[in-house]
A and B are shown apart, each in its own frame.
Chain A
């Protein structure tokens, strides 16, 4: 589904990604861990086409297409979704209008008619239940006045609405209490099928106990320095990153 080869990227003059290789197949869940500043969020931002970052080398293919040649919205239409670490507040734009625009813009790109309003409202209602998002929040402006936990649940609600093929969860667990984390994790698990994949970026193994990844990658200084199974996350939790920092190319 996703094939990343030797990806280099920078912001301004600062090179952050220094050669990422990553292959994700249908139905797989990958975790990416790593100390602060190692490039985890940059990797997710580059994959979804954030214009603040510049790709200097390497390539990425998504569903066989050249990902880096696509606009952010085209990547979304192709089925790429990012749950933002810091969801943006958009005063004056209601969640309903926002989601309607998102869904209908994709349908337009696929040559389909806009969704009927009744169907859309029904869909909103059903998907809201997956993350136990209050009706009141769905009626408000996008993320405006939402608590930290509500914002993160709202990200997963949007994921449910858009049914992506590949979802990237960028520290979706940060700032969540235990119950909220369970709701989010269960929501993500419900949305995963044998044809969808997920990249979970996190600092903690707690989320990974609920969303069980097949692969865990350690990102350090812009490179993936270690790849293993779920046991690697447990090891990191116990020992920290120092042992990896000392032998970065182990």
Chain B
């Protein structure tokens, strides 16, 4: 056992009571089991296949503070979060560090529109979580970071949409990191869509202080029969931010999921997506885009399990890496016996702008059924010289030409976003990012 694990084991043993006091029975009931697994296994080394490209032990080694006693942190979320999306009317919620921020709730639109439909719940996880769903996907995941999150998470966000209810207005959740000392936060999200429900969710990560942050995040989403979930995760933080996010999605028959994970600015990011088709005829579209420079590191790891027949999965991940940034994409599609008529497509395309930038890409297919259509592919390369020269001949400077081509490359992912104002905003943000101007946010000021 290494120091990095021991400090969390000691922490949990010493503060277990305090952790539990500020949480709820449902969340407390699963802590010991997670702790037992964590203690037995510790953090994965890079010899563990799914953590090959990110050194988890190193990331968790520093000494971060935790707010286990749930001290109130002074914050005005509307001040801390200035980078909103123009023209995007959302139901806006805040999670400050890892706690649901109940003081700032969305106001219904004038004229009574915009209120959540009846029966929809968006609130504090510790208040609403039920044992029927909480930790049911994450508890089986065999992932030390998920177990650590389960041990330490005291609150989070709970989202429930009843049967056949369509939530028209997008639900936007701003995760704000706010602290005067280096801080570890353990965010937890539980999303439940009953049969036929529809929900569009947008998570935005922001850091309001230039402290070192370590955020673990576990999102569990249950997508019922014929339900549709659009899940957008936008990360726009700073160089001192470490994020380890694990997303678990279970799809029932004929359900649809669009998952879009966008890393615009970060320090070290590790995103895992585990998605399982439990029922026939379901479909998922998973998109990811990454823009990284300096010494930033972004690792997307996906596993899509086709348990049921007639399901369709499509993945497209695109990276632009500059300076000494490193990127990794490891995607695995597992087609189980009997999952006939599976259609699966996985694509990972990457641009490396310098000789020092590194991309690790590993698309994997594992097929145990004999009537399926699966494809996977990946590319790593540079901008097209012929296109660059063509543009220069028309008077476009080399820098501007590169910018246009990089934008075009990333926009293939952005264009799949179904919230039009968010799409427009991301086009704008991506361009700013490539121009090196994305440091107007409070949290990004140190990245200049």
Contact = CB atoms under 8 A, between A and B. Distances in A.
Interface of A: 48-51, 71-73, 75-77, 81-82, 84, 87-93, 97-98, 101-103, 105-106, 109, 141, 158, 162
A51 B400 contact: no
A48 B390 CA distance: 10
Contacts of B397: 73, 105
B421 to A, nearest CB: 20
B393 A97 contact: no
A141 B398 CA distance: 19
Given A90-B390, A92-B409, A92-B412, A105 B404 contact: no
Interface in B353-400: 384, 386-387, 389-398, 400
Among A75, A84, A91, A103, chain B packs the most CB atoms within 10 A around the CB of A91
Contacts of A71: 392, 398
B389, B392, B393, B397 — which one has the most chain A CB atoms within 10 A of its CB? B393
B361 to A, nearest CB: 21
B391 to A, nearest CB: 7
Given A50-B389, A51-B389, A101-B400, A92 B408 contact: yes
A175 to B, nearest CB: 18
A50 B398 CA distance: 13
B405 A73 contact: no
B45 interface: no
Contact of A88 (B387, B409, B412): B387
Contacts of B271: none
A106 B390 CA distance: 15
B347 interface: no
Contacts of B390: 84, 87-88, 90
Nearest to A72: B392
Contacts of A109: 395
A105 B400 contact: yes
27 contacts: A48-B393, A51-B389, A71-B392, A72-B392, A72-B393, A73-B398, A76-B392, A81-B393, A82-B393, A84-B393, A88-B386, A88-B390, A89-B387, A90-B390, A90-B408, A91-B408, A92-B405, A92-B408, A92-B409, A93-B408, A102-B396, A105-B396, A105-B397, A105-B400, A141-B408, A158-B394, A162-B395
Closest 3 CB pairs of A and B: A92-B408, A76-B395, A72-B392
Contacts of A76: 392-395
Interface residues of B, number: 21
B411 interface: yes
A75 B393 CA distance: 8
A91 B407 CA distance: 11
A194 to B, nearest CB: 24
Nearest to A51: B389
Contacts of B398: 71, 73
A93 B411 CA distance: 10
Given A88-B390, A89-B387, 7 more contacts: A71-B392, A84-B393, A87-B390, A92-B412, A93-B408, A97-B404, A106-B395
B389 A98 contact: no
B395 A73 contact: yes
A86 to B, nearest CB: 9
A120 B389 CA distance: 24
Nearest to A107: B395
A88 B385 CA distance: 10
Given A88-B386, A90-B405, A92-B409, A101 B396 contact: yes
A92 B411 CA distance: 7
Contacts of A101: 391, 396, 400, 404
Contacts of B393: 48-49, 72-73, 75-76, 81-82, 84
A152 B386 CA distance: 17
Contacts of B384: 88, 90
B389 A102 contact: no
A92 B412 CA distance: 7
A90 B391 CA distance: 9
Contact of A98 (B392, B394, B409, B412): B394
B404 A73 contact: no
A88 B391 CA distance: 9
A162 B395 CA distance: 9
Q: By CB atoms of chain A within 10 A, which of B395, B404, B408 has the most?
A: B395
A73 B409 contact: no
A87 B397 CA distance: 18
B362 to A, nearest CB: 26
A93 B405 CA distance: 7
Contacts of A82: 393
Among B390, B394, B398, B408: residue with most chain A CB under 10 A: B394
Nearest to B415: A92
A45 to B, nearest CB: 9
